[in-house]
Structure formats: C-alpha cells, structure tokens
Amino acid sequence: METLTLRPGEDQAGRRADVWLSEAVEGLTRSAAARLLEEGRVTCGGRPLSKSSRLTGGETVDVALPEPELADLLPQDIPLDVVYEDGDVIVVNKPKGLVVHPAPGHPDGTLVNALLFHCGASLSGVGGALRPGIVHRIDRDTSGLIIAAKNDLAHQGLAAQLQDHTLARTYECVVTGNLRQDSGTVDAPIGRHPTDRKRMAVVAGGRPAVTHWRALERFPGFTHVRCDLETGRTHQIRVHMAHIGHPILGDTVYGAKKPVPGLQGQCLHAVGLRFLHPRTGEPVALSCPLPPEFQEQLRKLSARR
C-alpha cells in the first residue's frame, strides 16, 4: 500500500473533502473518493476525514491507496499503438471508438482491458478498480495520445503535473465557421448542463476551464485549429469551441445534429503530449500524426477553395 500526500491550497478552504479529493486526484471519481474517506484511508494530522469534512486550506492530507482490484476486469488482446513505454508509464495513440475505461454500457472492450493484456497487473491503483493506470481521459470518439501509469508513484507524479500544468496536452480540430482572430483563449467555467445531465456546458459556478487556441489553416466555412489545454475538464475543447460559436466538425452533441459522411464523431485529435518523467524528472515530448479520416476531411475542405 502506498500513501499519497496532498496539500490543498488556501483557496480550497471550506470545500467538502470528497469533492476536493475527486478533483485533486485526476481519474478519481467522487464516488471513489467518498469510498476512500468512508474506509478511513484519508487522514489529516493522523485523524480520519469524513466525506463532509471541510478543508481549512494549507493542511497536509494523507491518502492510503488500496491495492488495485482487477478480478472483475478481463485482459483483452486489443491492438495498441504504443508511442512510448518504460517501466513507469505507457503512452498510447488511442483510435476513435475505443472507450477508455469500463462504464455502464461498456463493460469491456476498453483501453483498460487492452492495457491489462499488454502490461499485466503492472498498472497503478489510484484511479480505482475500474480505472487501473488511467491518469486522464479522452472521449470515445476523440483519437490521440493518452498516458497511463504503471505504478502508484508514477500516477502520483503525473497527477501532480496535471494540477500544475507541467503535463501539457495539445489537440488539433476542425471547427465550423471562420474564426476572426488568429489565436485566442477561452476562459469559461464548465459544469453539467442545467437540463441535460449527459452534456457539459459553460455555467456559472462550474469548474475553472481554460483553452488556448490558434488557427492553423482556413477553409470556406471551416478552420483547422490547434488547442492547448490549461485545464482538463470533461469535453472541454468541444464545449469551449461551441461556446464561442464554432463547434467542432462532426460533433453531434455540441454542434450540428447530423453526422458528417466519412467521419466518426468529432474531428478532434490529441496530437501532442509533454511531461516530466515521474521517476527521472527528464522532459518527455511526444507527438502522433493526424488519423486518416482527419486528413481526408482536410483534403475535402482544401478542394472546396
């Protein structure tokens, strides 16, 4: 068993322990955070915190991480495009259509099942029984780079980098419309949609979310854009681009309701990943090419000029 030591900032004073913990540890759901608290695994000054405990800000919180429970997850021989791998981390170029971890409606056939086959039991347990190794997520119909941790030390280090933005993620997408500027920043909080709980939205009181974007190429009615995430909220780029009036091509949740012929889901790809190796501290910079269907959309748009 390993212990994760966290120090909430002064700005976290007054927050519930379960809410804060689920946000402080990337990949940890609120229910999983509540479970750790209920089991007495989260302590401050040697005393267990309850779910409803309020933070004072600046204190030291220790989280005793349970061993991964992988009995209900089956390793599956699903092909993986491994971009980088060592004894601590693995980075995969995830194809569209592959769900990251088991969830209602997707009990298997996920990236986690593939990682279990590829890595064996050597995956971190911070994310809980259904998310071994998962440090961050990308949508089912978004392709590109995703990093997983092979042990809790690596997971702890990478989660800290997500918090302080040392772990940087770059995406490319095609959005509808012609962006007036060549670059910009969307700084707008994201939370659950007030009437549709399956969607996210820019809402007052949502979690802070910042996306930096830059136009790469312009086409009639569309723009090829690069986005750098400062935060990593659910559906962040999709929500932010729709919020400024330029939803992503093929996004039937936040944009046009009809799918684009020849395109599965949204035209969004995680093209770059930069982080400090959690064991050595050495910088690692990785990239992957745009998938064929993304390139085909660019060819079609270019032919319209």
Domain chopping of the chain, boundaries:
2-65, 82-150, 168-270+292-303
Q: How far apart are the C-alpha atoms of 157 and 296, rounded to whole Å?
A: 38
Strand partners, 109: none
**Per-residue pLDDT at 197:** 65
**Per-residue pLDDT at 105:** 58
**Per-residue pLDDT at 263:** 92
Model-wide pTM > 0.75:
yes
**Per-residue pLDDT at 130:** 60
Superfamily of domain 2-65: RNA-binding S4 domain (3.10.290.10)
**Per-residue pLDDT at 298:** 97
Mean pLDDT, consecutive 10-residue stretches, the chain (305 aa), reads 75 88 73 88 90 90 70 84 97 95 76 92 71 88 96 92 91 97 97 81 92 97 97 94 97 91 94 97 97 96 89
**Per-residue pLDDT at 201:** 94
**Per-residue pLDDT at 25:** 72
Topology of the domain comprising 168-270+292-303: Pseudouridine synthase (3.30.2350)
Backbone angles phi, psi at 246, to 5 degrees: -135, 70
Pairing of strands 61-65, 222-229: unpaired
**Per-residue pLDDT at 170:** 98
End-to-end Cα, the chain, rounded Å: 60
List residues with catalytic annotation: 139
